């Protein structure tokens, strides 16, 4: 049993309650956030960290109602606020329901993290159209629709907002056999840049996080093949996988009041992968 599991829930709740009173400011206190694809991986780490920083977190997921259990349990057992809402982010009506659920439950919406993403590798010449469409729908149309519905709500309620997109080093860096994914992330790069300009007058900031190789289920194929994993690690100056929690730390900053003058850019967090020099 992990040490943290031995601490009674009541004690954790008391700590959450008293930290602000003794002057420890949680960085997302009183904020309401939606995190898409928050049942596993980077989204899960962000949802848990946001709740620890005081946000009420709407955990978006697809699949059976058991899917988001781990995220919900982790948040609730430390006294955080959360609801799980099933929504396919490529469907406008489900996206609207997701935003409406946040507003109905917590009264407003301050932060959206467009994290849900998928990838599938094929040689370009063999790439099936239906797979391209699926990937573009989840990785690009999804953030478009969620950001649109969220921005409408943020404008209506006033007071600005934060949109944080989980992109990839591959919004810039080509990756053979991953063309649909690279195209989707390249599109996400321009979505951010374009809407950051449009939404600036409403004090809504829009930024991308561009992770490199982070240890999550999306890379199960690489993790299962030692040779492939070794080749990937050799591309990374820090020579290791990133951890979802390391991405969550940057997401907290971009979602917080501290990042009030930060908009329209991508922040890479990749162990130096994009700066890999020629071999020596």
Residues in contact with ligand BGC, total (CB under 6 A)? 11
Place of tokens 């309401």: 32
User: Per CB under 6 A, does 187 bind ligand BGC?
Assistant: no
Q: Which pair of tokens denotes residue 220?
A: 């199960």
Q: Which pair of tokens denotes residue 100?
A: 């409406």
Q: Which among 106, 127, 181, 280 is annotated as catalytic?
A: 181
Q: How far is the CB of 188 from ligand BGC (least distance, A)?
A: 11
User: Per CB under 6 A, does 212 bind ligand BGC?
Assistant: yes
Distances (CA, A) of 254 to 40, 92, 149, 184: 21, 26, 20, 22
Q: Which pair of tokens denotes residue 28?
A: 């997302």
> What residues does 241 pair with on adjacent strands?
none
Nearest to 218 by CA among 273, 271, 168: 168
Region of 95-103, 105-113, 130-138, 217-225 interacting with ligand BGC (CB under 6 A):
217-225
User: Per CB under 6 A, does 168 bind ligand BGC?
Assistant: yes
Region of 13-21, 55-63, 92-100, 215-223 interacting with ligand BGC (CB under 6 A):
215-223
Region of 142-150, 166-174, 196-204, 250-258 interacting with ligand BGC (CB under 6 A):
166-174
User: Per CB under 6 A, does 179 bind ligand BGC?
Assistant: no
Using CB under 6 A as the binding rule, the residues of this chain from 114 to 133 that contact ligand BGC are 119
User: Per CB under 6 A, does 36 bind ligand BGC?
Assistant: no
Q: What is the dihedral of CA 175, 180, 183, 184, to 10 degrees?
A: -120
Q: Of 52 and 170, which has the nearer Cβ to ligand BGC? A: 170
Interface mask (CB under 6 A) for ligand BGC, residues 226-245, using x and -?
------x-------------
Instruction: Tell me if residue 267 falls in helix, strand or coil.
Output: strand
User: Per CB under 6 A, does 213 bind ligand BGC?
Assistant: yes
The total number of residues shown for the chain amounts to 280
Q: Which of 42, 102, 169, 251 binds ligand BGC (CB under 6 A)?
A: 169
Tell me, yes or no, if 267 is annotated catalytic: no
DSSP 8-state assignment for residue 84: E
Place of tokens 């492939």: 228
Helices marked H in the chain: 3-6, 9-21, 41-52, 69-77, 92-106, 129-136, 142-157, 179-199, 220-223, 226-233, 244-255
User: Per CB under 6 A, does 271 bind ligand BGC?
Assistant: no
Q: Of 68 and 212, which has the nearer Cβ to ligand BGC? A: 212
| Cα gap 13→19, rounded to integer Å | 10
| Cα gap 145→206, rounded to integer Å | 14
Which residues have a catalytic role annotated?
A: 181
Contact residues for ligand BGC, defined by CB under 6 A? 119, 168-170, 175, 212-213, 218-219, 222, 232
């Amino acid at each position: 049993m992990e040490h943290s599991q031995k601490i009674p829930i009541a004690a954790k709740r008391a700590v959450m309650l008293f930290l602000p009173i003794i002057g420890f400011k949680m960085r997302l206190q009183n904020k309401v956030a939606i995190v898409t694809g928050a049942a596993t991986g980077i989204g899960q780490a962000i949802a848990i960290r946001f709740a620890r920083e005081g946000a009420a977190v709407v955990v978006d997921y697809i699949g059976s109602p058991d899917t988001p259990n781990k995220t919900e349990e982790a948040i609730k057992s430390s006294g955080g606020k959360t609801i799980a809402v099933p929504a396919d982010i490529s469907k406008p009506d489900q996206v609207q329901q997701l935003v409406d659920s946040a507003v109905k439950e917590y009264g407003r919406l301050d932060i959206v993290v467009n994290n849900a993403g998928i990838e599938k590798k094929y040689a370009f010449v063999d790439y099936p159209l239906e797979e391209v469409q699926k990937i573009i729908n989840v990785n690009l149309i999804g953030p478009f629709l969620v950001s649109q519905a969220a921005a409408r709500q943020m404008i209506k309620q006033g007071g600005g907002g934060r949109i944080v997109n989980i992109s990839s080093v591959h919004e810039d860096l080509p990756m053979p056999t991953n063309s649909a994914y690279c195209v989707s992330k390249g599109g996400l790069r321009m979505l951010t840049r374009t809407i950051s300009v449009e939404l600036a007058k409403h004090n809504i900031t829009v930024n991308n996080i561009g992770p490199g190789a982070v240890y999550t289920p999306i890379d199960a194929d690489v993790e299962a093949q030692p040779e492939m994993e070794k080749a990937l690690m050799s591309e990374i100056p820090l020579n290791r996988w990133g951890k979802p929690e390391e991405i969550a730390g940057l997401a907290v900053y971009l979602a917080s009041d501290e990042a009030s003058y930060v908009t329209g850019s991508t922040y890479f967090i990749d162990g130096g992968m994009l700066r890999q020099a020629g071999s020596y």
